[in-house]
Amino acid sequence: QVFLNLSAVAEAAGSSLDAAVKLTIFLTDLDDFAVVNEIMSKYFKQPYPARATIQVSALPKAAQVEVEAILAL
C-alpha cells in the first residue's frame, strides 16, 4: 500500500516514481527488508534510486513500513 500511496502523491505533483532519486524506508522489523525489496522492484525500474533503510521502534497508526521519497521534478 505504501508504494501505491507514494505513486499517487508523485502523480498529484505531475510526476511519477520514475523521478525518485532517494528513498528513506522506515521499518519496525528489519526481517521485512526482503519483502520490501520484492515489492519495491514492482514499482521502480533499475537503476533503483539511492536508499537508506532504518529500523524504528514504532510508526504512526501501527504501520509496519513508511517510505519518504525525494523526486527530481
As its CATH architecture, domain 2-71 has 2-Layer Sandwich (3.30)
pLDDT of 20: 97
Query: Which DSSP category does 45 fall into?
Result: P
pLDDT of 42: 95
Q: Is 32 exposed, middle or buried (0-12, 13-18, 19+ CB in 10 A)?
A: middle
- For the chain (73 residues), the mean pLDDT of every run of 10, in chain order, is 95 96 98 96 95 98 97 93
How far from 5 is each of 16, 26, 31, 57, CA to CA, in Å?
12, 15, 22, 22
Under a CB-based contact definition with an 8 Å cutoff, are residues 25 and 53 in contact? yes
pLDDT of 73: 87
- Amino acid identity of residue 1, one-letter, is Q
Please tell me the pTM assigned to this model.
0.90
Distance CA 29, CA 69 (A): 20
